[in-house]
Amino acid sequence: MKRLGIIVNVQRPDAEETVSTILQWAKAHGWPIVACHRIDMVRTPDFASVPKELFAGSIDLLLALGGDGTILTSARTVAEFAVPVLGIHLGSLGFLTVVYPVEAVAALERIRTGDFFIEKRMMLEVSAPGGSGERWSGLNDVVLDKGGIARIVTLRVHLNGEFLSEIAGDGLIVATPTGSTAYALSVGGPIMMPTMHGFVMAPISPHTLAQRPMVFAASDRLQVTVQSMAGPVMLTVDGQWARHLDEGATIEIGKAPHEALLVNFTDRSFLRVLREKLHWGIGPGAR
């Protein structure tokens, strides 16, 4: 028996209907469902509900219903507890989601019979400035940018304590292999196979052509210092958590001690996703 957790973006179309379908299946197979976040907005009294801090420890499998943002939130919520996440697509692009709502029951049946596998995805960890000991993790990327100010920000980057580069421009993206197909790709970064262990640093609109994306080993650590700024520099993790950095602030970015575990099936390869979602390698006449 599996204890199912569920996180739902209730603003998405088909959210309530999909939750109802999953609930019927779970009841039929004796798999209890534990809710988190704003599940109370879906009109059903049939979920146990626990606080967020207790959620990950009370489930064996997490169903994330929404778009890629819901997957990112879900992965960060349960990664430290090594809980696998199944993404059910209720969003727009859905690069990280595995199945559509009409396939949800079939996917659960495949999981019940063992017809699935787990992808281990590297996550990044970023330390708070000032040596407070506070740390945050992300599955996609860590971004430092100039916010809404149309001025250049200068960032000084060290690799494992050795000076690497001084980057002047709109900012900097440090992305995992999972995040390499997101913001980092739009600024010219490479696509990395999602189960690789490493990460990419991609400058945003650099002031010089000498600045290009660079790939590092998973064991490497980057130290980034805000050298100069015309306004507040924004630190963002996975596009969902943010704080301002002052001039002189230093953060460290590297591999997180835990990984995200994503449920997948053999008929949904990464290359297939590239072709379907990004039209990768497909000429105009073949679309």
Catalytically active residues, by annotation: 68
The pair of three-digit structure tokens given for residue 48, joined into one six-digit string: 């146990």
User: CA neighbours within 13 Å on the CB side: how many for 152?
Assistant: 12
Q: What six digits make up the tokens of 75?
A: 């992965």
d(CA 13, CA 66): 9
What are the strands, taking DSSP E only, across the chain?
4-8, 33-35, 48-49, 61-66, 85-89, 117-127, 135-138, 141-145, 153-159, 162-169, 171-175, 198-204, 214-217, 221-228, 233-237, 241-245, 250-264
> CB-side exposure of 38: number of CA atoms within 13 Å?
12
CA 53 to chain centre: 19
**Tokens for 148?**
């809404």
Exposed, middle or buried, 114 (CB in 10 Å: 0-12/13-18/19+)? exposed
C-alpha to C-alpha distance for 194 and 200, rounded to whole angstroms: 12
Query: Which residue's entry shows tokens 């490493």?
Result: 198
